[in-house]
Structure 1
Amino acid sequence: MKKVIAVLLGLGLVFGLSTIDTVEAKQKVKTYKNCTALNKDYKGGVAKSSKVKNKGGKTKYKPFVSSSLYNANMKLDRDKDGIACEK
């Protein structure tokens, strides 16, 4: 009886963890063609962390913080300060 429970528990863990990986793989981060398109959704741009400081000067809006969204749109960070399309 203990072996059956151990096997069922082990299978549950294996299948449970594999579904977590597929859910994360399905949640793709949106990439934007240019800063105009990104700023329509995120007025202040996208920062890779909350500790990043803007090197480009004074901005009007606070950036949205998301490392995965920043990494997908890193090409739009022209001054390489950790904030893409700051405005």
Structure 2
Amino acid sequence: MNLKKIFPIVLSLGLLTSISFGTVDSANAAVKTYKNCTELNKAYKGGVARASNVKNKGGKTYYKPYVSKALYDANKKMDRDKDLIACER
């Protein structure tokens, strides 16, 4: 076997494996459940939206919400008006 042919294949597999495992760990680590809207708004001023296409049912908001399905799902209890945006301001 030729080392020049094997080395790029092994290197590619190593990079793909490390990238896929790294993104799974960082996604799970980023999800945090907050105690109340005051705490959540310290980190995310506009609240957290489940998707980028959701519309606010309430009044005028001053900040754009952060979009994250996982973060919204973890803090779903704080979406009182059920418009898929938790703690909007």
Aligned in 2, Cα 1:41/1:6: closer, same or farther, shift over 3 Å? same
Letter in 1 for 2:16: L
The verdict on how the C-alpha distance between 1:52 and 1:39 changes in structure 2, with shifts beyond 3 A counting, is: same
1:72 is matched with 74
Residues 1:39 and 2:41 aligned together: yes
Unaligned runs of 5+ in 1: none
Q: Flag the 1:71–1:14 CA change in 2: closer, same or farther, 3 A.
A: farther
Amino acid paired to 2:51: S
Deviations 1:44-71 (A, max 9, x none): 2111233210113333332223344334
Q: Shift in Å at residue 81 of structure 1?
A: 1.6
Calculate the TM-score normalised by the size of structure 2: 0.70
- The aligned residue for residue 48 of structure 1 is 50
The answer to whether the 8 Å contact 2:51/2:68 transfers is: yes
Contact preservation (8 Å) 1:47, 1:65: yes
Q: Equivalents in 2 of 1:73, 1:6: separation in Å?
A: 50
How far 1:12 sits from its partner (Å)?
A: 1.3
RMSD over aligned Cα atoms: 2.3
Deviation at 1:24, TM superposition (A): 1.6
CA contact (8 A) 2:31 2:70 kept: no
Contact map agreement 1:29 1:72 (CA 8 A) in 2: no
Equivalent residue, structure 1, for 2:87? 85
TM superposition outliers: structure 1 runs of 4+ over 6 Å: none
Letter in 1 for 2:18: T
